[in-house]
Amino acid sequence: MSSRALPLLFINLGGEMLYILDQRLRAQNIPADKAKKVMNDIITNMFKQNFLEELFKPQELYSKKALRTVFDRLAHASIMRLNQASMDKLYDLMTMAFKYQVLLCPRPKDILLVSFNHMDVIKDFVKDTPSILSLVDETHLQLVEMYTTLSSGEFQLIRQTLLIFFQDMHIRVSIFLKDKVQNSNGRFVLPTSGPVPYGTQVPGLIRMFSCTGEEVTRRQFTNGGNYAAALREGSFEIFGDRVTKLGTNMYSVSRQVETHMSGTSKNSSQHTKVNVAPNPLAKEELNMLARLMGGLEVQTPGNAESSFRVNLFSTDEEEEEALISRPDDLLYGVINIQATKDQQANAELAKIMGEFTEPGHQSPSSSSKGDDLLAMMDGL
């Protein structure tokens, strides 16, 4: 698995989260000043330097629950609040949208163009706030520096890593179902026509070469699709035409979006055996979360008037029904970690975790805390 996939996963999921929230804030007629504050606060936390330093360190992807925990924290980094069902729906929409984009990339390197499309729109959200825009620009430069020099093989490994992460997620999304790009079982329909990847030829010709490298014969065949050559390559510069529309805001035109758990996903999850053995990566994963969360801030509104709730469903009744009907084994367990920017607090957490994992060590005063940590590790 690629150790460079995590930043791209985070940036693209974060971009999709902002698109969805922007659409819902508009749909619920949230006052412009409050909506802008929500977007600014979330983007500020997404692109904080200490947060990104941890994110950009070469590392393998962590569990879905760990990543979900980070986005739970990000979504509540402002005065906006989401109920559990709405947060579930938000995360489902984010993940399925990016999964579709990864599947549709004509070549692995185009995942970077998708990421740049997300960055371009995120910059548009904060174009009137120079202090936040500078944070996004700095991250964009970091992405260019880190990824534009990678080989095609390294991008192929990144793509495979992302697809492995998404392979068991088959959430039906109304937009995809209406556009007939997703089947009723939640699996995507990949096109057999359209432009071929840049730098490749339209299929339909077989060329034979001699041992000296000279072409000796040609044979044509029916390719079974309506292919076209790519006109030009998307720009990997800070500013430029990305060519691909993947990663742009598909919610810019108001559309009602619903998500449903597919029957295949429910059945496969119910038959999945739970491994009760402690995960050997649990300590590292919790420490990683502590360091990441140390750079995030959840605002505590001083009064009820300053905060507001966003509902990703049409009505409160639909939201409550979605929470009740969601299978228990598909609910995302939220790991509550009290981490701050204070490195001493992070070191203390690491010390507690280190003591907890040592055989035979357990003090009476920390018994209940140990049980909680064990439960968290078992859940990862």
Q: Over 117-163, what HEC string results?
A: HHHHHHHHHCCCCHHHHHHHHHHHHHHHHHHCCCCHHHHHHHHHHHH
pLDDT of residue 334: 43
Q: Cβ(76)–Cβ(304) under 8 Å?
A: no
Are 52 and 141 spatial neighbours (Cβ–Cβ below 8 Å)? no
pLDDT band at 290 (very low <50, low <70, confident <90, very high): low
pLDDT(295) > 80: no
User: Is 254 in contact with 26 (CB distance < 8 Å)?
Assistant: yes
What's the rounded mean pLDDT across residues 128-133? 94
The rounded distance, in Å, linking the Cα atoms of 247 and 120 is: 10
Query: Lowest-pLDDT range, 51-55, 278-282, 296-300?
Result: 278-282
* Residues 191-246: tens digit of each pLDDT: 888 888 888 889 999 999 999 999 999 999 988 888 888 888 888 888 889 989 99
Mean pLDDT of 9-32: 92
5: helix, strand or coil: helix
Q: Is 342 helix (H, G, I), strand (E, B) or coil?
A: coil
Q: What is the pLDDT of residue 145?
A: 93
Q: In this predicted structure, what is the pLDDT of residue 40?
A: 95
Structure tokens at 42: 């979330």
Q: Is the pLDDT of residue 187 over 90?
A: yes
Task: Specify the residue for token string 């409050």.
Answer: 34
| DSSP annotation of 182 | B
How many Cβ atoms from other residues are within 10 Å of residue 272's Cβ? 10
Of 284 and 2, more confident: 2
In which band, very low, low, confident or very high, does the pLDDT at 22 lie, cut at 50, 70 and 90? Answer: very high
* Contact status, residue 50 vs residue 295, Cβ threshold 8 Å: yes
How many residues appear in the chain?
Answer: 380
Q: Is the pLDDT of residue 31 over 80?
A: yes
How far apart CA 159 and CA 350 sit, in angstroms, is 32
The answer to whether the CB of 45 falls within 8 A of the CB of 74 is: yes
Q: Are 118 and 11 in contact (CB under 8 A)?
A: yes
Specify the range with the lowest mean pLDDT, choosing from 50-59, 104-113, 173-182, 262-271.
Answer: 262-271
User: What does the pLDDT read at residue 321?
Assistant: 75
pLDDT at 163 over 80: yes
pLDDT at 296: 57
- Is the pLDDT confidence value at 292 over 70? no
Percentage of the chain lying above the pLDDT 70 cut: 70
CA 292 to chain centre: 15
C-beta of residue 226 within 8 angstroms of C-beta of residue 259: no
Higher pLDDT among residues 245 and 356, named by residue: 245
Q: What is residue 101's predicted lDDT score, i.e. its pLDDT?
A: 95
The pTM score is 0.74
CA atoms within 13 A on the CB side of 332: 23
Task: Give the E-state strand segments of the chain in sequence order.
Answer: 80-81, 171-173, 194-195, 205-209, 215-220, 227-228, 259-261, 308-309
* Gap between the Cα atoms of 353 and 370, Å rounded: 9
pLDDT of residue 362: 45
pLDDT digits (tens, 9 = 90+) for 138-160: 999 999 999 999 999 999 999 99
Q: 115 near 205, Cβ under 8 Å?
A: no
pLDDT at 313: 73
- Position 293 scores a pLDDT of 56
Could you give the maximum distance between any two Cα atoms of the chain, in Å? Answer: 82
List the chain domain ranges. Answer: 5-192+235-253+307-323
Taking alpha carbons only, the member of 359, 367, 373 closest to residue 282 is 373
What is the structure's pLDDT at 298? Answer: 54
Q: What is the mean pLDDT of the chain?
A: 78
- Residue 5 pLDDT > 70, yes or no? yes
Q: Average of pLDDT values for 11-37?
A: 92
In one-letter notation, the amino acid at residue 13 is L
Structure confidence at residue 253 (pLDDT): 59
Work out whether the CA dihedral 137, 237, 142, 7 comes out positive or negative.
positive
Q: Residue 355 CB: number of other CB atoms within 10 A?
A: 13
Integer angstrom CA distances of residue 260 from 2, 52, 176, 246, 361 = 31, 33, 12, 23, 45
User: From the CB of residue 202, how many other CB atoms can be counted at a distance below 10 Å?
Assistant: 14
* pLDDT beyond 70 at 328: no
Residue 235, token pair as written in the block: 């720009």
Asked if 74 contacts 289 with a C-beta cutoff of 8 angstroms, the reply is no
Mean local confidence (pLDDT), 50-55? 87
